Amino acid sequence: MRISFGTSGWRGILGEDFTFENVKLVTQAIADHVAATGEKGGGIIVGYDTRFMGERFAKEAARVLTGAGLKTFLCNRDTPTPVIAFEILRRKAAGAINFTASHNPPEYNGIKFSPSWGGPALPETTHDIERRANDMAGSVCYKERHLDDALREGLLTEIDPQEPYLKDLEAKVDFAAIARLGTVAVNALYGTGRGYLEEPLQKHHVRVKSVNARRDPYFGGFPPEPAEKYIQDFIGTVKGDPAIKLGLATDGDADRFGIVDEDGTFIEPNYIIALLLDYLVRVRGMKGGVARSVATSHLVDAVANKHGIQVYETPVGFKYIGELISQDKIVIGGEESAGLSIRGHVPEKDGILACFLVAEMVAHEGLSVKKLLDRLYSQVGRLVTRRENITLTPELERAFAGKLSAGPAELAGVKVRETVTLDGTKFILADGSWLLFRKSGTEPVVRLYGEAATAERLAAVMAAGHDLIMK
């Protein structure tokens, strides 16, 4: 098989393509890449999430890295992705290898490489690692050092980066305000967020009701994604307890967030990004632009227009937003898939920070998330978003590209005002509604994103998108 990195690293099914042999191959390719950059003196951090064999894969990677003469910092427990990013910057490391498949189902695992700037690797980096791995495939191209020897020789150090990361959050979150909320529910989805939400809240005398706070490689039988359909137990917990003012959830590696309002309403991530942008600029007085992926709600644009700030539209993949954060150009950057970070923080998705910022916003404003959203709508206008996956037959798949390249003059009875091909094909209509078509690179599926001012108009726009694909 060929090693191929997607938007968030190389992922595969355990025991099929994600094997110890392939893990060692990719690790050696990363070691060679780091050596070629001349940054290897800073060492490599190795972490993992709560999936099957995470510790074993991490130790195998450490054996290969130390065998290549690279100083290695091995996390001593499952660790959130944003915490690993923070530790790269804190230690001035050459990068990190993180064994995670994020929100994917439990049969998957993955390797995510983050270079020295702390964000997800950009395409030029992953392409080099891919090339090196595939060129070495089938040959024994690495030597492994016994971990006891590596420890004795000073090449291996076991670390727990939790305390430095949480200490840093103290300066970025108003926990004193959050304490006024009363009771907050948290849900780590059996993943790496365990303790990272509870401990800071409890330290600041916030009453916490925690669910799914133990490690479970099966993630309770669902993908570890804090989406509405997978956290019904948590929604029921929030809805059933009148003392709970907010529900905060993170995914398997804690780089994504899920927000449940006090009445049990799940709040779409698109709306959270827009609300936080408004809060950070209006209340905190933060300066700079905002970044969103091409698939993310234009409610962000409406808020940016309200405050007179620049919008950066990026391809899907947080690495592009992370680069803007690293360049100190934006107040906040986010994706509809529930990833965000802010100025002065790590250039990586951080579900932990996102949860705390929402809690701070709700506490400071004294309003529920729904009421905050209604207030924002009254100022900038309402937008409704949706995403669907459409499976293609072989015939439809062959015809798909041609249908988009022809470019319809109108959709759902309204003229197409603009076509954006930054990532997929996005048709912006004269009434401000839009459709985005993104073809999966691994399966015969089209991801269809849409947005409009009302649910009725969105239904018509999405139906037009279906028709364009299916006819």
Using one digit for the tens of pLDDT, what is the confidence trace for 222-245? 999 999 999 999 999 999 999 999
Question: 81-91 and 351-365 are packed helices; what angle lies between their axes, rounded to 10 degrees?
Answer: 100
pLDDT of residue 370: 98
pLDDT of residue 471: 81
The verdict on 268 and 364 lying in the same domain is: yes
The verdict on 130 and 80 lying in the same domain is: yes
Average pLDDT across the chain, whole number:
95
- Report whether pLDDT(137) > 90: no
Quick check: is 4 in a domain?
Answer: no
Q: Which domain holds residue 116?
A: 10-162
Rounded to whole angstroms, the Cα distance separating 370 from 303 reads: 17
Domain boundary among 316, 348, 380: 380
Quick check: is 434 in a domain?
Answer: yes
**Number of domains the chain contains:** 3
User: Alpha carbon of 324 to those of 273, 284, 299, 300, 427: distances in Å?
Assistant: 16, 20, 20, 16, 25
- Lowest pLDDT segment from 220-224, 402-406, 428-432: 402-406
The verdict on 121 and 186 lying in the same domain is: no
Task: Convert the pLDDT of each residue in 184-206 to its tens digit.
Answer: 999 999 999 999 999 999 999 99
Domain boundary among 113, 129, 162: 162
**315 token code pair:** 């391809």
pLDDT band at 141 (very low <50, low <70, confident <90, very high): confident
The verdict on 260 and 328 lying in the same domain is: yes
Rounded to whole angstroms, the Cα distance separating 83 from 192 reads: 10
pLDDT of residue 140: 66
The verdict on 220 and 325 lying in the same domain is: yes
Quick check: is 49 in a domain?
Answer: yes
Q: Mean per-residue pLDDT for 271-279?
A: 98
Contact 102, 255 (CB under 8 A): yes
Instruction: Give the CATH number of the domain where residue 129 resides.
Output: 3.40.120.10
Rounded to whole angstroms, the Cα distance separating 356 from 407 reads: 43
The verdict on 222 and 136 lying in the same domain is: no
Q: Quote the Cα angle for 223-227-232, to 5°.
A: 90
The verdict on 39 and 152 lying in the same domain is: yes
Task: Give residue for tokens 């799940």.
Answer: 266
β-pairing, 108-115 vs 95-99, is antiparallel
The verdict on 456 and 372 lying in the same domain is: no
Contact 27, 67 (CB under 8 A): no
Rounded to whole angstroms, the Cα distance separating 251 from 159 reads: 23
| φ/ψ (deg, to 5) at 72 | -130, 135
β-pairing, 257-261 vs 207-211, is unpaired
The verdict on 334 and 219 lying in the same domain is: yes
The verdict on 89 and 128 lying in the same domain is: yes
Task: Convert the pLDDT of each residue in 77-130 to its tens digit.
Answer: 999 999 999 999 999 999 999 999 988 899 999 999 999 999 999 999 999 999
Query: Helix, strand, or coil here: 51?
Result: coil
